[in-house]
Amino acid sequence: MSEPTPYRIAVIGGTGPQGKGLGYRFARHGHSVVLGSRAAEKAQPVATEVTERLSGVKGAGEVTGATNADAVAAADVVLLAVPYDGHDELVATLPLAGKTVISCVNPLAFDKRGAHGRVVNGGEGSAAESAQELAPEATVVGAFHNVSAVLLWGDEEFLDEDVLVVGDVVEAKEVAMDLAAAVTGRRGIDAGKLRLARQLEPFTAVLISINRKYKTHAGVRISGL
Ligand SMILES: NC(=O)c1ccc[n+]([C@@H]2O[C@H](COP(=O)([O-])OP(=O)(O)OC[C@H]3O[C@@H](n4cnc5c(N)ncnc54)[C@H](OP(=O)(O)O)[C@@H]3O)[C@@H](O)[C@H]2O)c1
């Protein structure tokens, strides 16, 4: 498979399983990655762990650790991989102007009936749209919401699923669609405008329900293309 242009990617919340897993996959396919954290000393050992996992992988990109803000400053693409709680406060502090920002943040809640989507902005919003409002000079897209962290850190070369990408700017969606190839072996699917993050984000609750029932790590696969 031909690889896209290497990107310099900052992963905000890169010490968590989703950020670490996506960072690992991106670096495995030649992109350079800075794993961000609220504390640089927490990011460093995670970057070392990912680097060790990549030893011997030909063409792998560099993986380093930094504070979230320093990671953003060094990157052209920023992945938001933090919990929804605290998301708005963090995003508001980051120097995101001019960057392509990819959000995989799922506003979910859990109770004794399982996972379910949280209502954002009275049903007229999503985490990705909130990020866009908080960083109006960045271009925000949504992607990787439905990809399991366990599989990202697993041994399969590519995950047998699709990455759905939503956004209002085609060039920014193209970046996320390129990066999806590092995860699934094929480009991501343009799934429409940014406001459709309102559907993609809570849909992860359905996958979590399937995972519980069938003891698996379910993903999304689109037919008919
Ligand atoms: N886990 C999955 O399978 C999965 C799948 C699809 C999408 N997602 C989405 O990806 C995002 C990250 O998931 P995760 O499971 O990796 O989350 P997580 O482990 O709970 O958090 C990721 C990182 O975010 C930072 N963080 C935690 N609370 C924060 C706060 N209040 N303010 C700022 N930073 C905070 C922490 O890093 P530091 O302490 O180093 O700053 C933490 O290591 C979530 O929005 C989730 O819905 C997850």
Q: Is 223 inside any structural domain?
A: no
Element at 11 (helix H, strand E): strand 8-12
Q: Is 101 inside any structural domain?
A: yes
Residue-level pLDDT at 110: 97
Count the domains in the chain.
Answer: 1
Q: Is 61 inside any structural domain?
A: yes
What is the rounded CA–CA span in Å between residue 194 and residue 145?
13
| CA of residue 82 to ligand 1 center, whole Å | 3
Domain extent, residue 151, equals 8-214
What is the rounded CA–CA span in Å between residue 123 and residue 128?
13
Q: Is the CB of 114 under 6 A from ligand 1?
A: no
pLDDT tens, per residue, the chain with 225 residues: 555 679 999 999 999 999 999 999 999 999 999 999 999 999 999 999 999 999 999 999 999 999 999 999 999 999 999 999 999 999 999 999 999 999 999 999 999 999 999 999 999 999 999 999 999 999 999 999 999 999 999 999 999 999 999 999 999 999 999 999 999 999 999 999 999 999 999 999 999 999 999 999 999 999 999
Measured between alpha carbons, how far is residue 5 from residues 21, 125, 174, 177, 217 in Å? 20, 32, 12, 12, 30
Q: Is 222 inside any structural domain?
A: no
Q: Is 138 inside any structural domain?
A: yes
| CA of residue 37 to ligand 1 center, whole Å | 10
Q: Is the CB of 130 under 6 A from ligand 1?
A: no
Tens digit of pLDDT for each residue in 97-148?
999 999 999 999 999 999 999 999 999 999 999 999 999 999 999 999 999 9
Q: Is 3 inside any structural domain?
A: no
Q: Is 65 inside any structural domain?
A: yes
Q: Is 27 inside any structural domain?
A: yes
Residue-level pLDDT at 3: 56
CATH number of the domain that residue 193 is part of: 3.40.50.720
